């Protein structure tokens, strides 16, 4: 039995005599198979200078995360109080902070915790958002009502405010957390209040895709609803999700730094950009050796900029309307 489309989603089919066929003059090359959306997007990305700028920035950040010893052989946790606030010198291009730590070494090694939080948080948010949004948009009715109202509840809570409250409780219950426990706590605190945005985006994309002709063709040859959802609807609804998640990754890195700056994110013993910026706030107030703050803050800003530029480039490649402008 054919499904009744939701109000506002009825398909209009123009009469054949109002849409005459036009001669192509042999302009269409049918000797090659048609390219899919992702292959065409990759071809456009390769011609976009913004993509290459963002790729260069993020490649350096990735090397800092995976292979920090490539940039420095100094121990970021080795303090020498006799060199407190000492300026740049041989082998120490950024000098030392108040505790006697090498600023450049801590900037390099701080990328690991900050980027890891952003990456894991993005994965959690995308998984939850795509599942809930796809189910709500595809099945509609009661399922749509449950997931949409649940998303509205969490969407009404500001991201940082919810994370601050959640991490404050965790810090009181588990004050002595290791590296991975601290990372997971921040990821859960941010992810718990960030998924509704992806849910809404996925739901809207699924509502658009599920009424297209190729979905009707799949139904006509006997494809089940579940297989249609997994095989056709979700893959063709991921373009706006990819764009949003790319930008969100940079936002989550900044959010982690903000929480650590406030003293409720990662414990101070973990090297991260947020912790180093928080430790340098004394220099900001005194105006003495402010370069101690510029290094981690600059790395944080460049990383966020890299993801924002990448999201902009991906959006241009995946959105035909933006390409036409």
The domain spanning residue 293 has which CATH number?
A: 1.10.3720.10
Identify the residue whose tokens are 């803050």: 297
Among 200, 206, 203, 113, CA closest to 155? 200
Residues spanned by the domain of 250: 36-324
Q: What does pLDDT average to over the chain?
A: 84
Separation of alpha carbons 282 and 279, rounded Å: 7
Residue 10 domain-assigned (yes or no)? no
H/E element, 279: helix 273-279
**Is 302 contained in some domain?**
yes
**20: in domain:** no
* Residue 27 is assigned to a structural domain of this protein: no
Closest CA to 191 of 245, 242, 238, 123: 123
116 occurs within a structural domain: yes
Confidence of residue 30 (pLDDT cuts 50, 70, 90): low
pLDDT band at 1 (very low <50, low <70, confident <90, very high): very low
Residue 137 domain-assigned (yes or no): yes
Give the distance between the most distant pair of CA atoms in the chain: 87
pLDDT of residue 26: 54
How many other C-beta atoms are found inside a 10 Å radius of the C-beta of residue 284?
A: 13
Residue 306 within any structural domain of the chain:
yes
**Predicted confidence (pLDDT) at residue 228 exceeds the cutoff of 70:** yes
Number of domain units in the chain: 1
- φ and ψ at 89, to 5 degrees? -150, 180
Write the DSSP string, 49-86.
HHHHHHHHHHHHHHHHHH-GGGT--S-TT---GGGTT-
Least confident segment among 111-115, 122-126, 175-179: 175-179
Q: CA 179 → CA 83, 112, 113, 140, 186, distances in Å?
A: 28, 11, 9, 42, 11
Predicted pLDDT of residue 241: 92
Give 153-203 as a DSSP string. HHHTS-HHHHHHHHHHHHHHH--S--HHHHHHHHHHHHHHHHHHHHHHHHH
- DSSP-assigned beta bridge partners for residue 89: 92
pLDDT in tens, 84-114: 788 888 888 888 888 888 999 999 999 999 9
Whole-Å CA distances, 310 to 40, 171, 217, 246, 316: 17, 34, 35, 7, 10
Angle, CA of 42, 57 and 79, to the nearest 5°: 150
Domain membership of residue 294 (yes or no) is: yes
- Residue 293's Cβ-side half-sphere holds a number of Cα atoms within 13 Å equal to 16
Confidence band of 285 (pLDDT split at 50, 70, 90): confident
Tell me the CA end-to-end span of the chain in Å, nearest whole number: 42
pLDDT at 27 over 60: no
């Amino acid at each position: 039995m054919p499904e009744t489309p939701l109000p506002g989603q009825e398909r209009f089919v123009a009469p054949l005599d109002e849409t005459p066929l036009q001669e192509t003059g042999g302009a269409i090359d049918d000797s090659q198979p048609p390219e899919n959306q992702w292959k065409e997007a990759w071809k456009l990305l390769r011609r976009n200078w913004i993509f290459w700028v963002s790729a260069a920035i993020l490649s350096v950040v990735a090397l800092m995360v995976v292979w920090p010893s490539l940039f420095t052989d100094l121990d970021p946790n080795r303090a020498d109080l006799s060199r407190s606030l000492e300026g740049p010198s041989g082998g120490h291009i950024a000098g030392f902070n108040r505790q006697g730590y090498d600023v450049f070494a801590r900037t390099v090694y701080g990328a690991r915790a900050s980027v890891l939080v952003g990456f894991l948080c993005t994965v959690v948010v995308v998984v939850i958002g795509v599942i809930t949004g796809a189910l709500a948009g595809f099945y509609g009715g009661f399922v749509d009502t449950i997931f949409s109202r649940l998303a509205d509840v969490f969407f009404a809570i500001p991201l940082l405010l919810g994370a601050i409250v959640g991490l404050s409780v965790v810090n009181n219950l588990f004050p002595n957390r290791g590296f991975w426990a601290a990372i997971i706590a921040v990821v859960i605190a941010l992810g718990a209040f960030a998924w509704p945005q992806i849910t809404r985006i996925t739901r809207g994309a699924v509502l658009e895709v599920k009424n297209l002709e190729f979905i009707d063709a799949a139904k006509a040859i006997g494809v089940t609803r579940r297989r249609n959802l997994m095989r056709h609807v979700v893959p063709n609804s991921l373009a706006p999700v990819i764009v949003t998640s790319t930008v969100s990754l940079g936002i989550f890195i900044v959010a982690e730094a903000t929480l650590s700056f406030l003293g409720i994110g990662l414990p101070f013993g973990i090297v991260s950009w947020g912790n180093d910026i928080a430790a340098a706030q004394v220099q900001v107030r005194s105006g003495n050796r402010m370069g101690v703050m510029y290094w981690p803050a600059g790395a944080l800003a460049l990383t966020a900029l890299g993801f924002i530029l990448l999201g902009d480039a991906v959006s241009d490649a995946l959105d035909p309307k933006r390409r036409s402008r």
